[in-house]
Chain A
Amino acid sequence: MKKSWFWLLIVCVSFLFISANAFAESGDTLIWGRGGDSVMLDLAQATDGESIKAGIQILENLVMFKKDSMEVEPQLAVSWSVSKDGLTWTFNLRKGVLFHDGTPFNAQAVADSFNRIIDPNHRFYNFGKWKYLSLSLKPVTKINIVDDYTIQLVTAKPFAPLLNNLALWLCPILSPAAMEKYKDQIGMNPVGTGPYKLVKWNKDDKIILTRNDSYWGEKAKIERIILVSIPEPSARLMAIQSGTIDIADDLDPDSITMAKANKDLVVKTVPSINIGYLALNTEKPALKNPLVRQAINHAVNKQDLIQAIFQGLAVPAKNPFAPSIWGYNDDIEAYAYDPAKAKALLKQAGFDTNQVLELWAMPVSRAYMPDPVKTAELLQAYLSAVGIKSKIVRYDWGTYLKKTSNGEHDMCMLGWLGGNADPDNFLYGLLSADAAVTPGASNVALWKNAEFTALVKKAQVVFDIAERAAFYKKAQVIAHDEAPWVPLAHTTTIRVYNKRIHNVPLRPNGLNSFQMVEKD
């Protein structure tokens, strides 16, 4: 009797192993492994990358970035124009587009999708929290429906970067019927016009998307996308090595080295649009003199820092924004790593080497600053090598942001993910005199340069890209000479995938629609 139980158990356990078929999968399904689950798929409310990755397969905007760059191209709008005074943007909308719920896309849908964000009296306004309004539709004061397929956005003053804002994930067009139906749960039930639609969402586990067969453009090649959350990076690496998943996101540098050595995997990289920097508070007496700030720029060994902190997966920064964004001034010569010159400049400036400057280290890691404490320690060492004493200061993230925006620091580490990839986002947002007003300054160097600010403001009101780029290039020269920052690094955006999938797009911000991806 006892023996038979034992044998039954053995048989059951062997059956468990033998019947394992976890590796059978069809070529019609793309499995995409990432570090965490999405939070919400109404992208107008989304603030995290995992939500955006899934959401942009489902939702579309009026305009979108090209698939491999940050240039803007038509999506749900076919063309657009700006009035002479620069205040009215007119968009001609694509005809014959249907939302996933079968309702038609038209000017009313655009108006509802946008008004819910900017108009507190709109009936959908209280169904969401529009956290990043300042990055999206804030400049828009009024929306006019001209006819079913023409819509106008009116701004209070001319604002050229608006087009890039509209291409951001924050300005998706959703089905008004669905917004009405799901109310504040629209984020769990997004209904858009995109190449894929949401089928199922098991929280913290997987999101299943299926091809939208009535898509207006070229239909998606792969029938199904499954986004799975694999929080542990080593497990994610093993999952792609074993072929369980097709794409692995956010691998750590060691895993990427291993992935590069694996002949079944492809590691695709593009320079990103982010920047990590050390802001020098220009209002502190010790840092008021540009010579001192230039000296600090010469003191930092960026190449060494990138090897130590980013394990080579970044490029040194010399300007306030990345080379992959138009308007980048590549003629500027970077401050070379030169401790002797730094010392000479400090001497010339009459810098008091006995004072101790506060070096504020971010308490959280970000793509542009993966190991803030180690970075701070390295910076401290570079500074001490040229005779600048510093001590590392830390606060929790909320306090850190608040205190730095009050200008309480001497030097602080920060970064910017890149937002809408318009130079305005970096130069006006992070370095203009308008942004240097405390409390709440986003220009944490508190650098107030009238000439620079005038240039970037002029660039906001002209609509010709070449003309705008000229202003920005001039502004970058001033920022370089005055050195309110030590620009540290732009990271590399990486996508690791199995070589059985093809046409994998990679935008500098790493956020792409997978409509054209194919699988053997």
Chain B
Amino acid sequence: MTPGYLFNRLVQLVLILLGVSIIVFLMLRMVPGDSAQLLLGEFASPQELASLRAKLGLDKPLVVQYWIYLRNILSGDFGNSIRTGAPVIGEIMERFSATLELSIMAMGIAIFIGMIAGVISAVYQQSIFDYASMLVALFGVSVPIFWLGLMLIYFFSVRWQVLPMMGRLDMMMDVPRVTGMIFIDSLISLDFEAFWNAAQHMLLPAITLSTIPMAILARITRSSMLEVLRKDYIRTAKAKGMSEMVVILRHALRNAFLPIVTVMGINFGILLGGAVLTETIFSWPGLGRYVVDSLMARDYSAVQACILIFAVLMTGINFMVDMIYAILDPRIRINE
């Protein structure tokens, strides 16, 4: 990868984030009324208002205010929540670990099953498997998450009682939090029981959450593979007498990968933003519920911080997708 390509992408990333921060900054300033009052809520005392006004420099020109704002957020100070009075960054991080863990698991399931289904469907095009898996994929994108989650709970937790229906761990179980991700924390403390317990708790919500990206991935993989499988070099590879498996995985799949990576990236970004419905049904203490609760309570500091964090996540993932492009396809890194 040329340093130029990397540099260009990094500059773009920073510019986008600055743009988002300006929009978020202006949003609050453009709401009629006193910004300090909005941030502290209607029950703030005059002293608190005065000290926040001074801290944000509300009597200074807008450019200076923006500079102060930028300096605060870069040092991790996103203000305090109106609802709880606690710093919002801590509240968000506490929930983000839950969302991250679930998203990774869901994305893992989606990639594993979605891609296998897509590849097999493409190789055995118009077979029973192809029709069946594409029908399932259609079901996957169109079934309401809400309904699917409740059905899974009903069968696996209520009827057959084989999987837990809510939370991240059994009620009585806990692991010392280091990263906040129980999978990792339980391994750090060598608590394998907690690890399995967490895996059980994660299975139903992760399956629920994976259906949409899985279905999209299956379809994209299939169509992208079909295109590549018709290329001359595949015929050449087969003619050389290479094994079917090697042709499909090394020659076809690698070339079919670009659109798949794009879709993976976008879907992972969406999952990281928090899945309100899945989190609600499975009582998962994630970011999606936090954002909705904050919006309902007009908790401006919390909402602002969430928007910024989503922007960072989204642009970060896009950046990574760009990097993977360059690794996969030499033409991209050379043409830049």
Contact = CB atoms under 8 A, between A and B. Distances in A.
A19 B161 contact: no
Nearest to B177: A202
Nearest to B203: A16
B47 A126 contact: yes
Contacts of B203: 16
Nearest to A186: B85
Contacts of A230: 166, 283
Q: A16, A185, A187 — which one has the most chain B CB atoms within 10 A of its CB?
A: A16
A210 B290 CA distance: 27
Contacts of A203: 91, 94-95, 285
Contacts of A131: 43
A235 B84 contact: no
Contact of A205 (B45, B47, B168): B168
3 tightest A-B CB contacts, nearest first: A22-B164, A204-B285, A205-B285
Contacts of A130: 43
B165 A235 contact: yes
A interface, over-half SS: loop
B166 A126 contact: no
B95 A238 contact: no
Interface residues of B, number: 45
5 contacts: A22-B170, A129-B41, A206-B171, A226-B172, A241-B158
Contacts of B170: 21-22
Interface of A: 15-17, 19-23, 25-26, 29, 31, 36-37, 39-40, 120, 126, 128-131, 184-185, 187-188, 200, 202-206, 226, 228-232, 234-235, 238-239, 241-242, 244
B280 A231 contact: yes
Interface in B34-84: 41, 43-45, 47-48, 83-84
Contacts of B95: 203-204
Given A20-B164, A187-B84, A238-B150, 9 more contacts: A20-B161, A22-B163, A22-B165, A36-B293, A40-B85, A200-B174, A205-B283, A241-B158, A244-B166
A126 B163 contact: no
A205 B163 contact: no
Nearest to B46: A120
B129 interface: no
B268 interface: no
Nearest to A9: B112
Contacts of B199: 16
B266 to A, nearest CB: 27
A203 B81 CA distance: 14
Most chain B CB inside 10 Å of its own CB: which residue of A37, A39, A184, A202: A202
A39 B81 CA distance: 11
Nearest to B163: A20
A12 to B, nearest CB: 9
A40 B84 contact: yes
Contact of A235 (B47, B48, B166): B166
B268 to A, nearest CB: 22
A200 B191 CA distance: 19
Contact of A19 (B44, B45, B200): B200
Contact of A126 (B45, B283, B290): B45
Chain B CB within 10 Å, residue with most, of A21, A22, A200, A234: A22
B163 to A, nearest CB: 6
Given A203-B94, A204-B289, A235-B165, A226 B171 contact: yes
Contacts of A16: 163, 196, 199-200, 203
B285 A229 contact: yes
Contacts of B300: none
Contacts of B166: 228, 230, 235, 239, 244
Given A29-B172, A187-B84, A241-B158, A232 B280 contact: yes
B318 interface: no
B27 interface: no
B321 interface: no
Contacts of B86: 185, 188
A184 B199 CA distance: 37
B84 A231 contact: no
Contacts of B196: 15-16, 19
Contacts of B161: 20, 22-23, 242
Contact of A129 (B85, B171, B197): B85
Contacts of B286: 204
A241 B84 CA distance: 33
Tell me which of B45, B174, B200, B283 has the highest count of chain A C-beta atoms within 10 A of its own C-beta: B283
B108 interface: no
Contacts of B283: 205, 228-232, 235
Nearest to B112: A9
A101 B26 CA distance: 46
B307 interface: no
A187 B85 contact: yes
Given A19-B196, A238-B153, A202 B162 contact: no
Interface in B208-260: none
Given A126-B47, A129-B85, A205-B168, A235 B282 contact: yes
Nearest to B276: A231
B207 to A, nearest CB: 12
B97 to A, nearest CB: 11
B157 interface: yes
B157 A202 contact: no
Given A23-B161, A187-B85, A231-B283, A129 B167 contact: no
Contacts of B154: 238
A21 B162 CA distance: 8
B285 A202 contact: yes
A103 to B, nearest CB: 23
Interface in B132-168: 150, 153-154, 157-158, 161-168
Nearest to B196: A19
Contacts of A128: 85
Nearest to B154: A238
Contacts of B83: 39-40
A242 B153 CA distance: 10
